[in-house]
Amino acid sequence: MIVLRGNSGSGKTSVARAVRAAYGRGLALVGQDVVRRELLRERDVHGGVNIGLIDTIVRYSLDHGYHVLLEGILTASRYGEMLQSLHRDHAGTSAFFYLDVSLPETLRRHDSRPLRSGAVRGRCHSVRHSVLGPIRAGAPARRAPETGVVQHLDIHDSVTYNV
């Protein structure tokens, strides 16, 4: 299981698609935006329905022999408990990556998108590297081992490094 998190415009979806293309069949790509925005048309709120649905999709895919790449902003304050639970419960290898892209670069990338939103400028500061906390529920205190990937890596380098 791979979890790929980061700010809006950090390249999560591009890297996830490239990893999937390099891997081929047998890798379930679960996108937070696809589940939340497209499937449910839900706002990103604490306790949102999408959190449980993402958890269910990831677990179902793993239980049926797929590797999973979960990608999204996945802020720790809203999604951290679910991510920690997935990490704790998954018997296989888990890798957590955070794409750490500067605010100016994030804004530059958003300005180049066809459907850009001014609302992104106000939200970028609030989601800067929301670190995952320790696992709870009786387990020894440990964190999901999240690796930072900095903005100077291009997609090819990121995929090569992560696969």
CB 30 within 8 A of CB 58: yes
Residue 163 has pLDDT above 90, yes or no: no
Q: For residue 90, what are the domain limits?
A: 2-162
Task: Assign residue 122 the CATH number of its domain.
Answer: 3.40.50.300
One-letter amino acid for residue 129 of the chain? H
Average pLDDT of the chain, as a whole number: 78
pLDDT category of residue 144 using cuts at 50, 70 and 90: low
Residue predicted with more confidence, 70 or 109: 70
Number of domains in the chain: 1
The three-point CA angle 49-9-14 to 5° equals 85
* Beta bridge partner(s), residue 68: 28
pLDDT tens-digit series, residues 67-88 = 999 999 999 999 999 999 999 9
Helix locations, 25-137, DSSP H = 32-33, 49-63, 76-89, 103-111, 119-123
Whole-structure pTM value: 0.74
Rounded to 5°, the CA angle 12-6-107 comes to 90
